Structure 1
Amino acid sequence: MGYTFDDRKYPVIVGIDFGTTFSGCSYTLDKSDEIYDVVSWPDQKRSVYPKTPSLALYEKGSTEMVAWGHQARRLANRPNSYHFILMSKFKLFLDAHMQDAELPNDLQVVDIIADYLRGLMDHAKIDIHRRLAGMYSEEHFRYCLTVPAMWNDRAKSMMREASIRAGMISYEDPMERLLLTSEPEAAALYCQRKSSQFNLKHGQRFMVCDAGGGTVDLMVLEINHPPGSPQTLREVTRGHGATCGSGLLDNRMRHYLMDKLAYVEVPEESLDQILDTFVNAIKPEFDGVEDHYLDLPANMGLGDITDSRMGLDQGTLWLPARELKDYVFDPVINQVLDLIEGQLEQSPRLEALFLVGGFGQSNYLFQQIESAYASRIDMIGVPPRGELAVVRGAVYFGRTPQVVTERVSRRTYGVETRMLFDDRLDPVEYMVVGLDDQRFSRHRFSVYVTKGQPIKIDECVSKKFVIRYPNGTDSDLFAYDGDGPPPRHVKDYDIKKVGKFPIKMPKIPGAQPGDRVKIEINMYFGLTEIHIECVIADNVFNFTSAFDASM
């Protein structure tokens, strides 16, 4: 690329795992081997979980955040809190299927995330200044944020925009001051540090299953560690995922309870209390064998009631293991198993599978994966402190992003251009005649990289085009998600515009109106975000990611 990032200006590396239900932050100094985790959060009380809830609280009719994290939940649970709106799981609104959903208070998801990140970083800065003795200010920070592997380019662009609005970086900062990496890739870097512990060697492959509160993301990587060289990783499969995290268990449990208690009236606050017990006591320990019993809240008035239809005995609710498996756990875990199968289809050879993330610590999830795949995968394990794998991996990536040397393209990318007209394949309405009487077809899809293609992180895909002086041009980036050959024209229904980058014609000495000017478009697809470089007469224009968060 046309410039070099000077990381010496930013010696403090901050990793942020912005999660659907909980978020975490870790950091280090560039030359230090020690990673510090932010484990103390405002209003944390007795909770020992090292992350803070991904919650933001607003007053009705206002777009100004009142509180975040634990404090947001505490204020929302107070009596007479009807004038508050508690936003939860708002990360999911960046999913491709929910990006156009309407939010209350005319809130925009980018602004909610920005508000939340600002609150999180304001607190994290206190921890950083205390641990590092106030030697560094935030102008010395560089960041790495993790994103789901399933996110599209628009979602990544919105995440970068939210970080800017949060005040973490500015539009003028170098792109590399804020890096994005996929959640399973970050977790893989954490697992890589444990590879000697698991006896993984050069050429061996491992899968990371990052199972969190909202999404489950997977990826297979191969260890590259020839004698005398530093250890690196390369992606082997297209990372993918689905919205089947532990939050889906909570939703299914809510419906299960409503069906089970259908013969009595259950106040919403009582149902929330029961679900809290499920989340904190039953879900982590569920093994598929032992039945569970719930003491219902006193405000339900069921302390003296026994009803066999509901499994109720004097205010205690019987939850058979078989029902919990059939109605709550197995429908979600089967989705996780399907995702694992999809990765194995891409890479049948696999030496290990690592479970990380909050949901990844589930005993029952581990049992089911081991039961299904122990005969095909030599080692299935849960690394220590797996709930911190992603955020610590983000710090590792922020320090040495070159450790992942090769990635696999999730989509087919290209630009719109004109090519020679073919009577058999091009619609006549697309035909234009050039100055030299040659016939061209408009709206042709000029492919730069295909879905599933391995790409090295520094690999440049370059193409040359011609435009007329002194006209600039707005070039568009298009993507195709199908597995077969890409369509011929960008107007095809299956091709989506994912970004645009305006190219302004520079002044060229001696050039006359109508002169043909060569333009070179270089694209770098080996990074988590796409980087585009346009060159006209030694003038370089740089663009990042999807370029337009509104697209």
Structure 2
Amino acid sequence: MNHVKSYKHYESTENIRYTEGAIRNLPKRFETMSLNPPDCKDIRVVAALDIGTTHSGIAWSSSSEFEKNPLRITSLQWPTSGGSSQTANKTPSVLLLKSNGEFLAFGYDADKKYSELANDNAQYGYYFFKHFKMLLYESKELQSDMILCDIEGRTLKASDVFVHIIKYMKDLLLRDFKDRGNAQQEENIKWIITVPAIWEDAAKQFMRDAAIKAGISKQRLQLALESEAAAIYTKEVLLQRSISTKEDEEGHTIRCQEGTTFIVTDLGGGTIDTSLKEVCKSNQIRDFHQAVGGPSGGQTVNGEFMAFLEALLGKEVLDELKMNHKGSWLELEREIELKKKNAKGDRDGRILLLIPADLVDIFESKNKKKLTNAAVFETQYAGKVDVKGKKLRVDKGVVDSFFRKCLENTIKHIESILEKPAATGSEYLILVGGLAESEFMKTEIQKKFETLPMTVLVPDEPWLAVIRGAVMFGHRPSVVQSRIAQFTYGISVIRCFLEGDDPQHKTIENGVPFCKNVFERLAKVGQSYQVGETVTTEVYAHREGMSKMRIKLYKSPEQEPRYVTDESCTPIGQLVVNMPGYGTQRKVTVSLCFGEEEITCKGENELQEEVEVQLRLLG
């Protein structure tokens, strides 16, 4: 490919005026080349860690089993709070630490121990974290040293929380292998960490850094985008069903072949991701549109449950329970989580909600009356809620209303995908994630899109679709052919001032007019990038003795931003390029890849020797 001469140079994070020529070539898209660590040929097991907002899990399969049947994936069984004889394939995402920050427990075990401490009023001094994952989505300027608050308001570095969890899950699986008589060497295990596709680039880097700090080698670590992992799993399910000519529950024949397009909606605990995929040659998949979504997952439903109880019993009653009866509060949260997934109702169409005795006592103490039907009749829920001792029988229509906000946002995201020309002819809408268990969500989504020639499918055990797909992705990353850029990415350059340029960006150097703050595009939002495809640009030293070049990286939702100072542009980090040697003629070719799960980069000097280039997205 011919190089195009230009009169541009980078604007650095350093307070330095650059000489003309610090960059002498426009960014270009080059041939495919992998920037990820090379696959380890001695990998015998792929293990996925799925740390969700509400629940987490571990799954794995051996390379030999994957070759026989990709869907034969094992999930670690977690002892539940019901006893060692009862197990589940996911555990609550809760972490209990000692007062000095040392690990104490995770999951059901942490929930149980903290409840016991709270019941004895002995929880003070301990850290108890839950729903912490949403911080990585909600924080728009992630810092490597950012702080998390536990349920009591005590603070700890967020990285410590995630490192504790990843290390515990990793070590737990290794112990499980050993107990089964199937001890695996860590160098034979490839680890996959799941992250939402709609996360910011910095949040993905935060998870990668935490995994490395937890003891996972970066050579055997890979991130998996959650909606993409779910698509990989459901594609394989569709493929096997189509081979067996199996029909779905409504009698539709399943078809999965090259050209089949389908929508995957991951109804998670914190976020909802919706993506459009197409089946390609060799059973690969590719993005047909960038993922869309937002923070309207299952926790939205939990919030509506709590708002209902607040309206029914009073805000002061709920606040008292939360502040001074932690064990009972956690008991109530567990009951809501259970009813959220299984809200079918009894023969009278009512759903039974068990409420803690402390909640009844607080209500009666503050209101100087018994919690009876007469008390409920005084609220907006008269005739819709019955009181039976320590139980509330709630009209199913009331419970269904708790899902409305989540449902409306989910439908909005799906419709935004369906509006795209690429979605024309989509054959399946596949619902996965914990909330896909909800009969209400499934039924209402089917009703909404019943006039379209598109089948709504929910795979068996939809809450495991992401983690199973992550294991499959780890075995065969090449299953993903291409991805679509979520944003337009670029750098700031100075070039010759042209007619039509904004005068406020004009600067004079050696009598020559230049335009500063120009957005030099590297990747374009909505554009497809092959996995491994790179964008390259050449960086020249602007000082004889400089050892590093620091270049800010920007993003924008617009396709053609003009200046990095535009309102739509946001600085997301910097490229730190090592500049070996001496003199101003030193050149490093920087390659960036926008088709991977996360932005990757590498550098090469004139001798084609590897040069370190770091992408720093965390402050």
- Give TM-score, length-normalised by structure 1: 0.88
Of 478, 482, 496, the match for 2:557: 482
Indicate the residue corresponding to 2:29 in structure 1.
none
Helix, strand or coil: the match of 1:103?
strand
- Equivalent residue for 1:112? 161
SS at match of 1:139: helix
What SS is found at the alignment partner of 1:119?
helix
Question: Mapping of 1:127-146 within 5 angstroms?
Answer: 127-131=176-180, 133-134=182-183, 136-146=184-194
User: Quick one: which of 164, 178, 181 aligns to 2:224?
Assistant: 181
Per mean C-alpha deviation after superposition, the further-off stretch among 455-464 and 29-38 is 29-38
Matched, 1:18 2:85: no
* Counterpart code for 1:180: L
Cα distance between partner residues in 2 of 1:206 and 1:260 = 42
Q: Distance in 2 between matches of 1:372 and 1:478?
A: 41
Whether the aligned pair in 2 keeps the contact of 1:209 and 1:360 (CA below 8 Å) is no
CA distance in 2: counterparts of 1:116 and 1:528, whole angstroms:
22
Distance in 2 between residues matched to 1:89 and 1:537, nearest whole Å? 49
Q: State the Cα distance separating 1:65 from its structure 2 match.
A: 2.9
Distance 1:290 1:451 in 2: 48
Indicate the SS of the match to 2:289. Answer: coil
Match in the other structure for 1:410:
486
- Equivalent in 121, 135, 153 of residue 80 of structure 1: 121
Cα distance 1:458–1:297, how it changes in 2: closer, same or farther (>3 A)?
closer
| Higher RCO by CA contacts (8 Å cutoff, separation 6 or greater) | 2
Show CA shifts across 1:214-260 (max 9, x none): 111111100113xxxx2111110101221111122111101111111
Do the aligned partners of 1:415 and 1:475 also contact (CA within 8 Å) in 2? no
Residue number in structure 1 paired with 2:601: 532
How far 1:433 moved relative to its partner? Answer: 2.2
Indicate conservation of the 8 Å contact 1:205/1:220, yes or no. yes
* Aligned mates of 1:412, 1:38 — CA distance in 2: 40
Secondary structure (helix, strand or coil) at the match of 1:146 reads strand
Q: Which among 315, 319, 342 is matched to residue 416 of structure 2? A: 342
Residues 13/132 of structure 1: CA separation in 2 closer, same or farther (3 Å cut):
farther
Quickly say closer, same or farther: Cα 1:287–1:233, change in 2 above 3 A: farther
Once residues 485 and 403 of structure 1 are traced to their aligned partners in structure 2, the CA distance between those partners, rounded to angstroms, is 31
Residue 297 of structure 1 corresponds to which residue in structure 2? 356
> How far 1:430 moved relative to its partner?
4.9
The answer to whether the 8 Å contact 1:355/1:361 transfers is no
Q: Check if 1:251 corresponds to 2:310.
A: no
User: Counterparts of 1:433-512 in structure 2 under 5 Å?
Assistant: 433=509, 438-468=512-542, 469-486=544-561, 488-507=562-581
What residue number does 1:49 align with?
Answer: 88
* 2:538–2:590 CA contact under 8 A, matched in 1: yes
Q: Quick one: distance in 2 between partners of 1:502 and 1:304?
A: 64
Shift of 1:417: 2.2
One-letter code aligned to 2:350: D
Structure 2 residue matching 1:201: 3-state secondary structure: coil
Aligned residues: percent identity? 24
Structure 1 residue 158: Cα displacement: 0.3
Aligned-partner Cα distance in 2 for 1:241–1:182: 13
Alpha-carbon deviations, 1:357-378, whole Å to 9, x = none?
Answer: 1111111110111010122242
Residue 363 (structure 1) aligned with residue 439 (structure 2): yes
- After TM superposition, give the deviation of residue 446 of structure 1 in Å: 1.0
Specify which of 319, 338, 351 is matched with residue 280 of structure 1: 338
Number of positions where the alignment pairs a residue of Structure 1 with one of Structure 2 = 529
Q: 2:475 aligned to 399, 403, 408, which one?
A: 399
Superposed CA deviations along residues 446-471 of structure 1, whole A, max 9, x for unmatched, are 10111000111121222334433443
When residues 507 and 283 of structure 1 are mapped into structure 2, their CA distance, relative to the original with a 3 A threshold, is closer
Equivalent pair of 1:222/1:234 in contact (CA under 8 Å): yes
- Secondary structure at 1:8 match in 2: coil
Kindly state the Cα deviation for residue 7 of structure 1 after the two structures are TM-superposed.
1.4
Matched residue SS, 1:383:
coil
Q: Aligned pair in 2 of structure 1 residues 231, 440: CA closer, same or farther (>3 Å)?
A: same
Structure 1, residues 464-505: CA drift from partner, whole Å, max 9, x if none? 34433443443335233323521x222334222222222222
| Cα distance change on mapping 1:80 and 1:5 into 2, 3 Å | same
> How many angstroms apart in 2 are the aligned matches of 1:237 and 1:199?
21
Asked if 1:193 corresponds to 2:236, the answer is: yes
List gaps (5 residues or longer) in structure 2.
1-32, 67-71, 242-253, 365-369, 380-384
Alpha-carbon distance, 1:271 to partner:
5.2
* C-alpha spacing 1:417/1:329, structure 2 compared with 1 (3 Å): same
Question: What is the identity, as a one-letter code, of the residue corresponding to 2:222?
Answer: L
Pick which of 459-468 and 400-409 moved more.
459-468
- Give the distance between the partners of 1:292 and 1:148, measured in 2 at CA: 32
Any idea what SS the aligned residue of 2:403 has? Answer: helix
Which residue does the alignment assign to 2:198? 150
Paired AA for residue 521 in structure 1: V
Match of 1:384 in 2: 460
Contact in 2 for aligned 1:253/1:275 (Cα 8 Å): no
Measured after TM superposition, the shift of residue 191 of structure 1 is 0.6
Q: Give the C-alpha shift of residue 382 in structure 1.
A: 0.7
Deviates most, 244-253 or 314-323: 314-323
CA contact (8 A) 1:96 1:155 kept: no
1:461, 1:523 within 8 Å by CA — same for their partners in 2? yes
Supply the distance in 1 between the matched residues of 2:476 and 2:315 (Cα, whole angstroms): 59
Contact 2:341/2:437, CA 8 A, preserved across alignment: no
Distance verdict in 2 for CA 1:293–1:427, change over 3 Å? same
Alignment correspondent of 1:66:
104
Q: Mean Cα displacement is larger for which, 342-351 or 307-316?
A: 307-316
Whether the 8 Å contact between 2:266 and 2:431 is mirrored in structure 1 is yes
CA RMSD of aligned residues (A): 2.7
Deviations 1:365-402 (A, max 9, x none): 10111010122242111111211111111111111111
Residues 385-424 of structure 1: per-residue CA shift (max 9 Å, x gap): 2111111111111111111101110010112222222364
Q: What is the rounded CA distance, in whole Å, between the counterparts of 1:422 and 1:465 in structure 2?
A: 23
Write the letter of the residue equivalent to 1:362. Answer: S
Give secondary structure in 1 for the equivalent of 2:481: strand
**Quick check: 1:357–1:389 contact (8 Å CA) kept in 2?**
yes
Asked if the contact 1:478–1:498 (Cα under 8 Å) also holds between the matched residues in 2, the reply is yes
Unpaired runs of 5+ residues, structure 1, are none
1-side partners of 2:168 and 2:81: how far apart? 13
Q: 2:274 aligned with 1:218, yes or no?
A: yes
CA contact (8 A) 2:506 2:515 kept: yes
Q: Which amino acid aligns with 2:174?
A: K
Candidates 366, 375, 378, aligned match of 1:309: 378
Deviates more, 1:239-248 or 1:90-99: 90-99
Which residue in 2 is equivalent to 1:122? Answer: 171
Match of 1:214, as an amino acid?
Answer: G
CA contact (8 A) 2:432 2:463 kept: yes
Please list the CA deviations of residues 127-185 of structure 1 after superposition, one character each: whole Å capped at 9, or x if unmatched. Answer: 23344622x2113221111100110110001001110111122xxx43xx211121000
**In structure 1, distance between residues paired with 2:102 and 2:556:** 38
Tell me, yes or no, if the aligned pair for 1:63 and 1:106 is still in contact at 8 Å. no
TM-score normalised over the length of structure 2: 0.79
CA-to-aligned-CA distance 1:181-206 (integer Å, 9 cap, x gap): 21000011111111221322210101
> Residues 265 and 537 (structure 1 numbering): CA distance in 2 closer, same or farther, change over 3 Å?
closer
Other-structure match for 2:18: none
| Separation in 2, partners of 1:464, 1:530 | 18
Cα shift readout 1:42-64 (whole Å, capped 9, x = no counterpart): 8672654311111111345x333
CA distance in structure 1 between the partners assigned to 2:372 and 2:173 by the alignment? 49
